Structure 1
């Protein structure tokens, strides 16, 4: 498929791949050097820029009296100057907004436009008042700001990283929210966060719909005054657990947005660098693989402590950028301030952006090749995760992400509403403690299994309805032959940080060696496996057989008391079997995915990977052998295959910053290519040409060494 990025006949959102943002500060109008920035744009090969315009701070002479102007603006039109220079360079321009708070003067003029608690007291931070998303601030005033900017400057669109307003920890009790919620639900606003209160659960869903309503309103305004290609884009974070705190519905945004602006600037304490390739694949899953998905990538220091003007270590920034590209992310450098005393940060992005330009044709217009789908949904985050989504949802999700990445098993994230859409090219679905599911989602899983698909599910999957309420019957019982006994055993809930935590000192009992299932391969020299979690009591039909049983907790300290009290039980922790339709079923009654997400204990990662490999009958589109922790992605692009290999060996220490790469090799990559025989293999990082080895439908490539990454083109 030819790369059409240079075709001016395409709209800007289909041909703008590299982005830059200088998040202007209030004093930048005094001393910013536009000539310097124009040269930086050229060095970084950007095709579009994001420039601060209005909202919380205006960088242009607004006719709207209450819009606060940057302290150093004076009589300048800084936004206008940046737009003029960007247009002279042929760049697309997005006007950056921040609309979730305003000044005391604004509040005094329109107190009914701002968030208040149940007693009518406004919510403030650093002298600013938080605006209510249901008030005329969003419905009338911001549309006027958008109109003014469009008429004066003609930007291609708008971004806003705070468009969702206040988060889930704040219930606004202004008159707009009270009357609107009453009209929508027939209920009064909940007084506080209480998952047992039906009104609170209704408020959660309603809060999502209010944000999407504003998304649609703002796009109506931009289209009305700027034309069909003038887009209001907000910003999103691709982490399906984190976004629930801000009421951002990723699926709804993906369905609406022709380009998705992602604000996920660096790795965090739970997710490593591999999170960024996952970001791209997850967002492409909801927006389509033809959408461009730029992501804001920090050049300032983030981590345990953030330093807005300090330079992020270059390898840290670059590996995060490279990981994003492997998942289909477009690079978007991000600096805070137009004048920097730590000028080292300007060296971070150019080499990666230049490499991206050179290899642009391989990074777009392609589809992932994977036979495993990892299922997610925001209903599960909300109504199962509730007040503890990190423990209940993030850890099982992360556990499987890490296990699959570590085992080099190609997979794609799939929204639970899209199972039917994606089923035709998937062999295995993984449901990582996806407890809260709609009836339609459960029916999609049943259809997948009954048509011959394989299933790996864990914990409380499908035991709750879409509101997080306990189902009277397990909806997958007939499909997989499993009945829940509504009882849990072991270390339930958030665990103590005390290493001697008694309840988590439990194990799996493995059967005798001659009775062991292939899922237990690699554990020949042990009769037990460390667990550390809890399990659901279940009763299985004939098609599922227990592969391991539960050893209850016993004292861990003092060591003299640390001996097994109950060596054998009949409580299964892992079951597997074959379905009559031909697929395979694996059920982990024990929350191994959550435990692995917490501890990264290799035994548990191996067990998860073994379960997926067995469910796939060991038929995977790509196998990668060799040393190191590698994140491997496979794509098809017309008559070529594309392989990304990211070397994360030693890179995911936390806390910490990447200071050195540890080269690994030899790496052997084998790809199943039933309808394709490559004539050549190019390595687009090392520059080498590799001769492929072809045996039947399998193509094997050997790479001597990989430092940070390699991009292989087989055609």
Structure 2
């Protein structure tokens, strides 16, 4: 029985959180109010220690705590300010006095106040005595303390050591009780560091990993032996101690690596709940902004020990600091953050809106993109002039957009995403996947984004309104998951299966046949051990390689009751993918755009998706490539929304929006912050479809559609 339970379990072992309360809910102001903030979150001592101070740094820092500063923040339309507070556990008491002054100004003028905390490192220079007395530091496989990049005085700490969590909670308590803050900005909110760079392998990590294994496997020797080949759990060490590279570069099939990933993700979830419940107990209206670098091309579970689904259960806003700001690049690639917004399940996404080096149109585009994909939350408008880019630059552009947003806020409330197609980035399957799985997911998603298909991307449960479920080469699927997908199809759902999906069970053991065999065509065969078909039976002039491996070029269609299935043997060729490792075997986190493209056989994929949807998407937008769309349904009114964002440098003309709507009950209107945009719509209903034509789109428009059946 236990063997079966552990075989079919999720990525995070939630039993290790059973001793913790789970009372916290998202504060009402986060879900009901606009979020637009200004940052001033580097402490004065940190600016000086890093060599980034200015000649008038005291004057600039003092200004960041004045009533004038608060009024200017409000003047650009911001609703929140995030100020410096605790950098690596050091709080300068002279600076803290200024924080109390600032808190009073914010309260007087109705500005939400957040504070910045970074708790994954400690200032070794200011805590030298404490570090001699207490064991706090993270240590790599060689036993050496690690630091934040080349800032060697910022030593990484390990949250498997209780004193670090105690100090973290004490800092949170002080911010909430003494400053009365509305928001905690928890930067570097991760547990265990980054594999290949500074991942912790200290004695505390090792002890907790052994305890983790013993609790999971120690009471069932038979299951333990089936999992590891033996029952000597006390002898199992964390992986990555001496191998080069120190992480698996393909599928993660080593059971100890699998358990280590699960251990790290579980511990991150545990720390997340500890911290969020601690804040809730002090003040349930305090929101949490967490920063653990939301990843779309990287295996975050393997590298950083978290998955977005469980992480976003404990934060209200997920910080994102990637370089994929919305634009068309010089090569014509459609760069955007649609994936990131959709992966931050249940939370809003935090992005930087303004690069002063770019024209004002880019600022308008970033705010529009955030409003469209982040339900109106445009997040960071800039920073105090003594910190980073001055928030006052292009202040009139920011204020004009945010004023418009406030006037139309009713249309950003109580929304749910419309998802004709859901790409299932199942958390455990992705945590153990080879890089090709990520490439497959990204290229499939890119086509759906560029084609403006109603789309959702999930790591957990797929939305109830999903009509097509995409499985992007998810080799690791357990029996329970395969059964759930099978029932989805048998109930009339449609399925796009790619590559080696379901060829392995939840532990990565190879099946004799697809786990999804009940819904796959008989002609679809399990991939052989030889990857390239021309190499199969190379020394046998009689046996055909294609017969041994199946035809990679043939895409099979299959009807299963009311459901439809398309099987694609291979969407992305492995030879097109670059190495993910640098020459020194560290992970390459550089800006890589390899998979910001549609697949080679994009037209065939479009036809397959159209067949799966029966040619009847909920929304179908015809527009120039480079126009993005995102769709919502308002729960209480039944209104439908099509948010349109133009990535081009000039307006585009004549956009048609087709929508499922009943004849004679179809009404549409347009909302736009663009000054010179055409606001005239042409509406036409025919049968069960309605068509709205917008003659001109400058940067951003929202098509509002009301139908009689939407109010049922």
Matched, 1:118 2:162: no
The structure 2 residue matched to 1:571, chosen from 533, 541, 551, is: 551
Matched, 1:403 2:441: no
What count of residue pairs does the alignment treat as equivalent?
Answer: 587
Aligned counterparts of 1:233 and 1:340: Cα–Cα separation in 2: 19
Aligned counterparts of 1:491 and 1:157: Cα–Cα separation in 2: 56
Q: What residue number does 2:238 align with? A: 189
345-354 or 442-451: bigger deviation: 345-354
The structure 2 residue matched to 1:94, chosen from 114, 124, 127, is: 114
Shift of residue 239, structure 1, vs aligned partner: 3.4
Aligned counterparts of 1:294 and 1:572: Cα–Cα separation in 2: 38
Aligned counterparts of 1:109 and 1:429: Cα–Cα separation in 2: 53
Q: What residue number does 2:588 align with? A: none
Aligned counterparts of 2:428 and 2:546: Cα–Cα separation in 1: 24
Matched, 1:699 2:698: no
- Encode CA deviations 1:329-360: one digit per residue, 9 max, x unaligned: 41112535443796587216434333322322
Q: What is the TM-score when the length of structure 1 is the normalising length?
A: 0.75
Q: What residue number does 2:130 align with? A: 109
Matched, 1:44 2:76: yes
Asked whether the equivalents of residues 668 and 703 of structure 2 are also in contact (C-alpha less than 8 Å), the reply is no
Q: What residue number does 2:225 align with? A: none
Matched, 1:428 2:427: no
The structure 2 residue matched to 1:677, chosen from 661, 665, 685, is: 665
Asked whether the equivalents of residues 116 and 173 of structure 1 are also in contact (C-alpha less than 8 Å), the reply is yes
The structure 1 residue matched to 2:34, chosen from 12, 17, 38, is: 17
Q: What residue number does 2:286 align with? A: 230
1:258-657 alignment, distance < 5 Å: 259-264=316-321, 266-267=323-324, 275-283=336-344, 286-287=345-346, 293-300=348-355, 311-329=357-375, 330-339=377-386, 343=390, 346-347=393-394, 349-385=398-434, 389=435, 392-415=436-459, 417-419=460-462, 422=463, 424-481=464-521, 482-490=524-532, 571-592=551-572, 598=595, 600=597, 604-637=601-634, 638-649=637-648
Once superposed, what is the RMSD of the aligned Cα atoms? Answer: 3.3
- Encode CA deviations 1:109-135: one digit per residue, 9 max, x unaligned: 235210112342211241221111211
Q: What residue number does 2:586 align with? A: none
Aligned counterparts of 1:627 and 1:220: Cα–Cα separation in 2: 47
Cα 1:428–1:601, aligned 2, differ >3 Å: closer, same or farther?
closer
Aligned counterparts of 2:570 and 2:309: Cα–Cα separation in 1: 30
Higher relative contact order (CA 8 A, sep 6+): 2
Aligned counterparts of 1:621 and 1:218: Cα–Cα separation in 2: 41
Q: For 1:346, what is the secondary structure of its paired residue?
A: coil
- Encode CA deviations 1:598-617: one digit per residue, 9 max, x unaligned: 48368522222221111112
Aligned counterparts of 2:95 and 2:638: Cα–Cα separation in 1: 57
Cα 1:179–1:37, aligned 2, differ >3 Å: closer, same or farther?
same
Shift of residue 201, structure 1, vs aligned partner: 2.4
Shift of residue 99, structure 1, vs aligned partner: 0.9
Asked whether the equivalents of residues 446 and 596 of structure 2 are also in contact (C-alpha less than 8 Å), the reply is no
Q: What residue number does 1:239 align with? A: 295
Asked whether the equivalents of residues 67 and 102 of structure 2 are also in contact (C-alpha less than 8 Å), the reply is no
Aligned counterparts of 1:261 and 1:600: Cα–Cα separation in 2: 25
Q: For 2:437, what is the secondary structure of its paired residue?
A: helix
Q: For 1:86, what is the secondary structure of its paired residue?
A: helix
Cα 1:59–1:12, aligned 2, differ >3 Å: closer, same or farther?
farther
- Encode CA deviations 1:345-377: one digit per residue, 9 max, x unaligned: 721643433332232221221222332111112
Cα 1:432–1:123, aligned 2, differ >3 Å: closer, same or farther?
same
Q: What residue number does 2:88 align with? A: 56
Aligned counterparts of 2:603 and 2:393: Cα–Cα separation in 1: 41
- Encode CA deviations 1:506-548: one digit per residue, 9 max, x unaligned: xxxxxxxxxxxxxxxxxxxxxxxxxxxxxx97889xxxxxxxx
Q: What residue number does 1:662 align with? A: 650
Aligned counterparts of 1:615 and 1:539: Cα–Cα separation in 2: 29
Asked whether the equivalents of residues 662 and 685 of structure 2 are also in contact (C-alpha less than 8 Å), the reply is no
Instruction: For structure 1, list consecutive stretches of 5 or more residues without a partner in the other structure.
Output: 1-8, 62-73, 301-309, 493-502, 504-535, 541-569, 650-660
Shift of residue 672, structure 1, vs aligned partner: 1.0
- Encode CA deviations 1:40-82: one digit per residue, 9 max, x unaligned: 3223322222222114265552xxxxxxxxxxxx566232233
Q: For 1:120, what is the secondary structure of its paired residue?
A: coil
Aligned counterparts of 2:425 and 2:393: Cα–Cα separation in 1: 37
349-358 or 438-447: bigger deviation: 349-358
The structure 1 residue matched to 2:200, chosen from 164, 172, 183, is: 172
Asked whether the equivalents of residues 83 and 116 of structure 2 are also in contact (C-alpha less than 8 Å), the reply is yes
Asked whether the equivalents of residues 195 and 247 of structure 2 are also in contact (C-alpha less than 8 Å), the reply is no
Cα 1:340–1:107, aligned 2, differ >3 Å: closer, same or farther?
closer
Matched, 1:131 2:157: yes
Q: For 1:320, what is the secondary structure of its paired residue?
A: helix
Shift of residue 154, structure 1, vs aligned partner: 1.8
The structure 1 residue matched to 2:274, chosen from 207, 217, 235, is: 217
344-353 or 374-383: bigger deviation: 344-353
Asked whether the equivalents of residues 486 and 537 of structure 1 are also in contact (C-alpha less than 8 Å), the reply is no
Q: What residue number does 1:31 align with? A: 60
Q: What residue number does 1:249 align with? A: 307
Asked whether the equivalents of residues 157 and 222 of structure 1 are also in contact (C-alpha less than 8 Å), the reply is no
Q: For 1:666, what is the secondary structure of its paired residue?
A: strand
Aligned counterparts of 1:202 and 1:92: Cα–Cα separation in 2: 42
